[in-house]
Amino acid sequence: MKVIQIEHLQKAFQNNIILKDLRLSLEEGECFGCLGPSGAGKTTLVRIMIGQLDIDQGRCLVFGEDSRHLSARVYEKTGLVLDEQGLYERMSVYDNLKIFADIHRIEDERITEVLKKVDLLDEADKKACRLSKGMRQRLVLARALLHRPRLLFLDEPTSALDPVSRHLIHHLLLTLKQQQVSIFLTTHNMQEAALLCDRIGLLHEGSMIEEGRIDDIIEKYHNHLALHIELTDHRHLNLDAQKDADDICHYLKEGKILKIHSNEPTLEDIFKKLTGKRLNL
C-alpha cells in the first residue's frame, strides 16, 4: 500500500481553482519534495492531505484512508510541521512537549531524547516566546517527532532559518529517512530538495508540471550540445558543440581553452524554461 495516493485532485477556493487534476504518490520510506513558488498551492496540498481542507474532485488517500475522514490511527502515525507553529508561548520548551506527550501517553524519557536530537536540551526551561526562530522551528519539529511518526509532513521546515538550524534539521531528516520514515516536504530551496528528496514535483499554478527523480528531470532538459568554455584570456563563451564546432576546434588547436564543460541546467533553470517564472521566490 502506498503511504499517500492522490488521483485527479481538484481544489478551488470560491471560484479560484488552486489545485488542478493532481496525481501524486508516496511510497514507504520515500521523501517527496514539492517545489513551487509562493502561491503555487503547496500548503493547500499539505492541508488537504492532513484532513484540514476538503477537496472538490478526485481522491486523496493517506495510509489508505480518505483524507476527509482520517481516523486516529492515521494521526497517530503522522507528524506535522506547518507554517503556523501553534506553540504555547508562555510555557517552557519542555512543557510544550510534555502537553503533547501526555495526550499521546508518551514517556518523559522520550521528551529528553527528542530534545537532545534537536539540540534544545539546554533550552528546556526557556519559555517558547524567548526562543530564536531556528530554535522555535526545532521545537516544532521535536513535537512532530515525539510520537515516533511513520509519515512526516514538513511545510517549508527550514525557510529563513540560520545555517546551523538548517543543517541540524537536514541531518535529522536524513536519519529519519534511514529509519524508513516517509516524508512529504515542501520547499523553495533546490539544494534542500537535492539533499533530501528521492523524487520531486514542480508545482506551478496548481499543476504538477514535472515530476520524478531530480537527476532524471535534469537529464531530460540537459542539452549536451551546449558547452561552456573558459578561454586562457578568461573570456567565458557559451557555444553549441555542432554549430560552433569550427570555433571550438580553432580554440583547441591554438591551446586557448582553459576549461570546457557541458551546461547542466539547474531545477531553477528548468522551472524558468517551463513557466517563464522563478522558482525561488
Residues forming contacts to Mg ion in the complex (CB under 5 A) are 42-43
DSSP state of 186: E
Contact partners, residue 78, CB within 8 Å, separation at least 6: 50, 62, 149, 150, 151, 152, 153
**Which does residue 44 bind out of ligand ATP, Mg ion, none, counting CB within 5 to 8 angstroms by kind?**
ligand ATP
**Position 278 contacts ligand ATP (CB under 6 A):** no
Contact partners, residue 109, CB within 8 Å, separation at least 6: none
How many beta carbons lie within 10 A of that of residue 51, not counting itself? 19
- CB of 41 vs ligand ATP, minimal distance in Å: 4
- CB of 206 vs Mg ion, minimal distance in Å: 13
CB 114 within 8 A of CB 172: no
Q: Which of residues 19-48 bind ligand ATP (CB under 6 A)?
A: 36, 38-44
Closest CB to ligand ATP among residues 123, 155: 155
Closest CA to 22 of 218, 273, 275, 201: 201
Nearest-angstrom CA–CA distance, 39 and 26: 23
- CB of 13 vs ligand ATP, minimal distance in Å: 3
Nearest-angstrom CA–CA distance, 254 and 66: 67
**Position 13 contacts ligand ATP (CB under 6 A):** yes
- CB of 240 vs Mg ion, minimal distance in Å: 40
**Which does residue 67 bind out of Mg ion, ligand ATP, none, counting CB within 5 to 8 angstroms by kind?**
none
- CB of 12 vs Mg ion, minimal distance in Å: 17
Closest CB to ligand ATP among residues 42, 117: 42
Nearest-angstrom CA–CA distance, 111 and 142: 8
> How many chain residues bind ligand ATP (CB under 6 A)?
10
Interface contacts to ligand ATP, rule CB under 6 A: 13, 18, 36, 38-44
